[in-house]
Structure 1
Amino acid sequence: MARDNLIGGGLWEEYSHEVQRRMDNPTNMGEITEEEKGNNELIIADFGAESCGDAVRLYWLIDPKSDTIKTSRFKSFGCGTAIASSDMMAELCMDKTVDEALEITNIEVEKALRDNPDIPAVPGQKMHCSVMAYDVIKKAASMYKGVDMDSLESEFIICECARVSQDTLKQVIELNKLSTIEQITDYTKAGGFCKSCIKPGGHEVKDIYLVDLLAEGVEEIEAAEKTRKIIEAKGNGNFASMSLVQKIKSVESILEEYIRPTLKADGGDVELIDVKEDTDAFEVLIKYQGECMSCSMNTTTTLAGIQDMLTFKLKANIRVIVT
């Protein structure tokens, strides 16, 4: 079934040789019987994907003294990609502790099936076939630990293929001010495989899609930007009349837009500690972070630059003090 021998190539060209080899001749397929158990604990876990009808049964022989998986085998009821993915999943579990096996991700399975580190082993629309790898591992681990399967998942996963959580996506969208699905995929890999998580109508039905998180994130970014501009506008010639909270937000917005990008480019940062009113000036207390802490210019050139920018933007007499 090698790709090079197929007439016209076609879809087969999108599958690695390793995937095709394991489709035809899986290394770890089979059962583990009670007779093989010995002093080890035998775990048999089943998991099925309702969306496509594929199912996998995972067998583990675990040394109870060390929680190490001594033998790992599988049976798969599904397409060739599901067989190849399950075969690699079972192999990756071998000689790991149960907790270490829980850290195996779908992407790790897919990458292990690649011929070339930079070329995906399967077409994106078939990535969902490896999703069962993580789920059946979680099922087996929950059986061994005697806990509910859901208790082993601490995050709400949006993209099952890449194992990207809702919290991670929200943070990435907000911190990097993302505005397109393509940007989300570039930053997190979410939506780059079977694409079911992007919007309704894909391979699997989701409660929340990337388009929902993106719309939410863009709305929050736009609202924050409006707030920042209002705060900064209030500071122009009117800093003295602002409340302490407004003063702090105004200073913070200027640091974020005009100061931090330069400092972060050199591995540093600055934290706003407080804003105080003195007899002849407003004292802005800051603390340097990262490389700025040891920089020889943190009390001279850099400090003067921060003070000048705040004075110019806020139209007020500002004295910056390093704590």
Structure 2
Amino acid sequence: MDQETNDEYGIKVAMFINEPKYLGTISEEEAEELGASLFSYTYGDEALGYKLTLYWAINTREDSIVLARYTYEGIASGIAVNHMLALISTNKSIPQINDITYKALERLLRDNPTMEALPSSERYTITFAIDAAKLAVKEYIHKPLNHEEKTVPCKDSPMSIASIKESIELHNIDTLEGLVEYTKAGSSDTDCKENLSAFIEAHQKILAEEEEAEKALAAIPFRELSPEYRVMAVETAIDNTVRQFLIMDGGDIDVLNVKENGEIFEVYISYLGACSDCSSSGTGTLQAIQNALRDKLDPNIYVIAI
């Protein structure tokens, strides 16, 4: 193993950099031997210093990826990131690719669960990989892109307006420096910084409005809220308690409804992403959600997964 790489990164990241098992292309013949069709998608370009091409051999009957590889030009950590992306993409259905999250991918690269896998200045390699995979899915299913999804505002990042806004929201970015870490946008292109600042300010305004709404909701007992506001109160309570842990494991939940049944409040939820396949979905996870809602809102809440 290259000692310099090993010193700069953790053991797992360094190993993937030095032994990039999934680096390379897939030929039409190789895909056919697997009973699959070849699909490829290119993200970025050489001028940006980042170019990634995803190669997927897809079983078109089931829309599942039977083999994933990639070619890549960029900083070394991107090799490890895309190695892990290829690994976890294999045997997934095309829709499941959209369930791969930044936090899940980053955690899989860690040696120590409490320490980030990459330096903060290289976080963007994970963001780019996730962005590329989601855009590849849209191209594969022929989903048209809207204006913000097609518009790339900066010359130093391949990310669209929509993807940059999504990163700002996901990581609660409140400075241009933080935005550079996760998206590289504005790192050298000074002309786009005004627009980037506007995106950050718009998000901060939304957060402030949500905080005011939460305070207003918190002042009213849960039992006295209208059905619509009960759902909002449940969402807020979940946001402030268990949601972060679900997202870190690659999942989430959707609050469907809150029904009053005598003295009892029945909260109906559905599991999303990795949580939908968890064997613990009906036991430990459900109990944790229910306990959090009882503690925050009302002791007579019962959570029902459907």
User: When the two structures are superposed, what TM-score results if normalisation uses the length of structure 2?
Assistant: 0.57
The code of the aligned residue for 2:18 comes to D
Q: Is the counterpart of residue 33 in structure 1 residue 27 in structure 2? A: yes
Q: Which residue of 2 aligns with 1:232?
A: none
Q: d(CA) in 2 for partners of 1:125 and 1:54?
A: 15
Measured after TM superposition, the shift of residue 215 of structure 1 is 4.9
Measured after TM superposition, the shift of residue 271 of structure 1 is 2.6
Q: Is the counterpart of residue 123 in structure 1 residue 119 in structure 2? A: yes
Alignment equivalent of 1:61, drawn from 57, 80, 92 = 57
1:232-265: CA deviation from partner (whole Å, max 9, x where unpaired): xxxxxxxxxxxxxxxxxxxxx6x843x54xxxxx
Q: Which residue of 1 aligns with 2:224?
A: 271
SS at match of 2:12: helix
Q: Which residue of 2 aligns with 1:210?
A: 200
The code of the aligned residue for 1:36 comes to E
Measured after TM superposition, the shift of residue 25 of structure 1 is 1.6
C-alpha change, 1:128 and 1:52, in structure 2 (3 Å) is: farther
Gaps of 5+ in 1: 7-11, 166-187, 229-252, 261-268, 274-286, 296-323
Q: Is the counterpart of residue 190 in structure 1 residue 180 in structure 2? A: no
> How many residues are paired up?
213
Structure (1 or 2) with the larger CA radius of gyration: 1
Q: d(CA) in 1 for partners of 2:20 and 2:165?
A: 27
C-alpha change, 1:56 and 1:67, in structure 2 (3 Å) is: same
C-alpha change, 1:129 and 1:221, in structure 2 (3 Å) is: closer
C-alpha change, 1:221 and 1:62, in structure 2 (3 Å) is: closer
Measured after TM superposition, the shift of residue 272 of structure 1 is 3.8
Measured after TM superposition, the shift of residue 118 of structure 1 is 1.4
C-alpha change, 1:209 and 1:149, in structure 2 (3 Å) is: closer
Contact 1:28 1:87 in 2 (8 A): yes
Measured after TM superposition, the shift of residue 76 of structure 1 is 0.5
Q: d(CA) in 1 for partners of 2:15 and 2:103?
A: 19
User: What percent identity do the matched residue pairs reach?
Assistant: 26
Alignment equivalent of 1:43, drawn from 39, 61, 71 = 39
Q: Which residue of 1 aligns with 2:79?
A: 83
Contact 1:159 1:190 in 2 (8 A): no
Q: Is the counterpart of residue 112 in structure 1 residue 85 in structure 2? A: no
SS at match of 1:196: helix
Measured after TM superposition, the shift of residue 208 of structure 1 is 3.8
C-alpha change, 1:270 and 1:99, in structure 2 (3 Å) is: same
User: When the two structures are superposed, what TM-score results if normalisation uses the length of structure 1?
Assistant: 0.54
